Chain A
Amino acid sequence: DIQMTQSPSTLSASVGDRVTITCRASQSISSWLAWYQQKPGKAPRLLIYKASTLESGVPSRFSGGGSGTEFTLTINSLQPDDFATYYCQQYSSYLVTFGGGTKVEIK
């Protein structure tokens, strides 16, 4: 199985901050990586797929980068609605795996 290591697990930030979350794969997954936002009681919301493609309707302050084994999700100018938990996911094989999540909290 491909292991996904996400860091940090918790991030405290203020409105307007630029934040970056990192995800590392245990082996190369090319660009088969997605990022999700999840709020309590809700389904995961797709933000980014193929490592850097912004899902339709997602604000442009979200951006994804990387390939191979190292990936990042950056949120420029954090907004109140962005405080949530974020997950990375690899889908390079049938056995998709997820990072452990990053909770973005208000500082």
Chain B
Amino acid sequence: EVQLVESGGGLVQPGGSLRLSCAASGFTFSSYAMSWVRQAPGKGLEWVSYISSSGTTIYYADSVMGRFTISRDNAKNSLYLQMNSLRYEDTAIYYCATFSSSVYWGQGTPVTVSS
């Protein structure tokens, strides 16, 4: 059974940092490009970042460029999102997902940026 399990979300003050993790199982993680997608309260879905299967190709949404860093550890079947300089508008549920010949999503981890 394919599983993507996010963790690391929580409450953080503006300007603070968080590191999200996504543990993958049930598929050959190292063969799949991965993405982070977020959903702010009451809003639609927004792509955040992409990393290729090898980790050599990375893209970010303009809204997080320079503040967020995506990475992966294929030996640990894990995906990460380091979020720095957090803003109120980064408050959202963050999902890890893969979109290719198969589509898999995790259940999400909530991030709240508030003073």
In the complex, what residues of A have CB within 8 A of residue B33's CB? Answer: 94
Name the one of B44, B57, B103, B107 contacting A100, with C-beta atoms under 8 angstroms: B44
Taking a contact as CB atoms under 8 Å apart, the answer to whether B35 and A96 are in contact is: yes
Q: Return the chain B residue nearest A96 by Cβ.
A: B47
Chain A residues with a Cβ closer than 8 Å to the other chain, count: 17
Minimum CB–CB distance for A14 against chain B, Å = 26
The reply to whether B103 and A91 contact each other, CB–CB distance below 8 Å, is yes
Main secondary structure of the interface of B (DSSP, over half): strand
Chain B hits for A96, CB < 8 A: 35, 37, 47, 99
Whether the pair A46, B44 counts as a contact (CB closer than 8 A) is: no
The 8 A CB mask of B45-78 against A (1 = contact, 0 = none) is 1110010000001010100000000000000000
Instruction: Kindly report which residue of chain A lies nearest to residue B45, judged by CB atoms.
Output: A98
Residues of A at the B interface (CB closer than 8 Å) are 34, 43-44, 46, 49, 55, 87, 89, 91, 94-101
Give B residues with C-beta under 8 Å from A: 33, 35, 37, 44-47, 50, 57, 59, 61, 93, 95, 99-100, 102-103, 105-108
